[in-house]
Structure 1
Amino acid sequence: MADATDTILKAMKKAGKPIQAGELEKATGLPRKDIDKAMKLLKESGAIVSPKRCYWEPA
């Protein structure tokens, strides 16, 4: 799962703005279930934050 979390963080940084999980799916090519699991881990560790509902960015 570490690879997925790294990939998601890189995609978020590259986007340069808060991004939705669906956009991450298109940007990374990862399956949505893997994105959801990785984002849960990132949220719990404080690596990503939500500036507005359903949008995420690196902390």
Structure 2
Amino acid sequence: MDILDKILETLKENGAMKAGEIAEKLNVDKKDIDKAIKKLKTDEKIESPKRCYYSAK
């Protein structure tokens, strides 16, 4: 399972989260989470219900 899948799974289980919270939960560097979030947003797999929070579609 790659980082994108792990982020999606985490968001589905926990609801809206900040990038830092995702990084902490997955024990991954926040920079890597930020890059992955950018890709997931481009692919329209996640959305931002409010500023700095992300959730799975």
TM-score (normalizing by structure 1): 0.89
Q: Which runs of 4+ in 1 moved over 4 A?
A: none
State how 1:1-20 maps to structure 2 within 5 Å: 3-15=2-14, 17-20=15-18
Q: CA offset at residue 26 of structure 1?
A: 1.1
Instruction: Find the aligned partners of 2:24 and 2:31 in 1 and give their Cα distance.
Output: 13
Q: Does 1:32 align with 2:57?
A: no
1:5-42 deviation digits (Å, cap 9, x = unpaired): 01111111111x21100110111111111101110100
What amino acid does structure 1 have at the position aligned with 2:25? A
Identity %: 42
Query: Helix, strand or coil: the match of 1:56?
Result: strand
CA root-mean-square deviation: 1.2
